[in-house]
Amino acid sequence: MFGYYLDIALRSLRRNPVLTALMVLAIGLGIGASMTMITVLHVMTDDPMPRRSGQLFYPHLNPLPLDYRQSGDGPDPSDNLTWPDAVALLKAHRAERQAAMAGAELLLRPGRPGTRPFNIHGRYATADFFAMFGVQFAQGQGWTAADDDARAHVVVLGNTLSRKLFGGADGIGQSVRLGEHDFRVVGVVGDWQPQPVFYTDAAANRFGEADQFFLPLSTAVDLKLDVNGNFSSWGEDQADTRMVSASTTWLQFWVQLRDPAQVAAYHQFMVDYSAQQNALGRFQRPPTDAKLYGLMAWLGHQDLVPNDVRLQLWLALGFLLVCMTNIVALLLAKFLRRSGEISVRRALGARRRDIFLQLGIESAVIGLAGGVLGLLIAQLGLWSVRHRPDDYAQLAQMDVSMLLGTFVLAIAASVLAGLLPAWRACRVAPALQLKTL
């Protein structure tokens, strides 16, 4: 029966090509606009570590004084940790893995004659960073906890930077000059670029390029290297002691916990630690302010989606609703104009549900054609997004789920739009129509 209904639907659509084209265009425009913004929202809120996100957590302590007043609309300083708090959490070893980190930007001085120095961005981190986040290495490996303790002058390079410096040669053991210091290359990261960059500072670019180098955090503190991120102080410390001050937040911290029991135990540890610091007079806020965010909950807390993207999404969905309203009117006119044909079929024994199914298939065919057009319009819309200066623009690409979602949304929208016209056409009294034939 499906093939029969499909044949009737195609004959009906060919009978009124102009009306069919208008309906396909309407659904295509609505779907194209909607899927453009849905895809943008999808890439901005996608899980950057789908196999590990359930085990990654961000401890949130609040060392800010009660009278602290944040100026402007910048990131919350309490989203980062102070050096003493990060060191205390590291030494406690209450998680399977834990890593403190901060953004970096240093001047790289190539050893080749005639090559000018250039700035590169990277990350200071502790040794567990690589194993906890599942970083794959093209060459070598990361440094060890012993290197952290020894403040070793070692570096892990990104694959792109390694090729730029050494070509196709093995970079392990080579020396790289960053700032005013030389570092020995111990590893080269392979193809590892989670998006969004969940582990970075809230003030940093969440959708940018991968880090180009990694240095031990203890070495960066020992050498007083430049930090690229939200450096917030509320004390009166001197500039040369701010990195290790108890009144300066600048470090991000992640832990790996494998099951709910470990999560509950770590959260209790944080509450107890906050209570201890409260008793010492460092923390002024209640210990219950300590929180433990899962990876996706942390990204939600950071509110990565700009307000203009949300507004554009609602406008696109509103446009789709307008298109669906127009399709309802067009289908209603089309179906009611076929009342005589429907009445003859009813008189020959067709049931109402048979007529309803036939008209529903016709609506679905319109949706499928509109989905093809909508896909082309969405690709054009995403192409225009990629030419915008926003940091997330280059990620605006359709994956398989969005590709299938385009057709599902198009067919669902057209079938929903056809429900009322199909129901109204099924309610036509055959006897009244047959008298006019």
Q: Is residue 315 part of a domain?
A: yes
Residue 280 lies in a domain: no
Q: Which residues of 311-322 are buried (b: 16+ CB within 10 A; e: fewer)?
A: ebbeebeebbee
Domain presence at residue 90 = yes
Q: Is 214 helix (H, G, I), strand (E, B) or coil?
A: strand
Say if residue 120 is in the same domain as residue 246: yes
**Whole-angstrom Cα distance, residue 324 to residue 416?**
8
Residue 42 lies in a domain: yes
Q: What is the pLDDT of residues 74-94, one digit of tens each?
A: 677 888 999 999 999 999 999
Q: β-strands 181-189, 213-216: how paired?
A: unpaired
Question: Is residue 219 a part of any domain in this protein?
Answer: yes
Q: What is the mean pLDDT of residues 382-389?
A: 81
The residue among 214, 240, 256 that closes a domain is 256
Residue 38 within any structural domain of the chain: yes
More confident residue, 436 or 325: 325
Residue with tokens 């989203």: 79
Q: Tell me: pLDDT of 435 over 60.
A: no
Which residues in 268-324 belong to E strands, given as ranges?
291-294
Domain co-membership, 66 together with 18? no
d(CA 269, CA 146): 25
218 & 322 share domain: no
Task: Give the tens place of pLDDT for each residue, 246-270.
Answer: 889 999 999 999 999 999 999 999 9
Q: Where are the beta strands (DSSP E) in 241-361?
A: 248-256, 291-294
- Residue 363: in which H helix or E strand, if any? helix 352-385
In a domain, 267, yes or no: no
What does the alpha-carbon distance between residue 415 and residue 80 come to, in Å, rounded to a whole number?
A: 49
Residues 210 and 330 occupy one common structural domain: no
In this structure, are 39 and 77 located in the same domain?
no
Same domain? 24 vs 107: no
Determine the Cα–Cα distance for residues 420 and 422; give it in Å rounded to an integer. 5
Task: Say if residue 409 is in the same domain as residue 371.
Answer: yes
20 and 145 fall within a common domain: no
pLDDT-based confidence at residue 434 (cuts at 50, 70, 90): very low
236/382 same-domain check = no
Model pLDDT for residues 132-188, shown as the tens digit of each residue: 999 999 999 999 999 999 999 999 999 989 988 888 788 899 999 998 999 999 999
Q: Is the pLDDT of residue 433 over 60?
A: no
Please indicate, yes or no, whether residues 347 and 222 belong to a single structural domain of this protein. no
In this prediction the pTM is 0.80
Q: Which two tokens stand for residue 236?
A: 């009166």
Q: Tell me which residue range forms the domain holding 136.
A: 62-256
- Our count of domains for the chain comes to 2
- Asked if residue 15 belongs to a domain, the reply is yes
- Co-location of 21 and 119 in the same domain: no
Whether 167 and 123 share a structural domain: yes
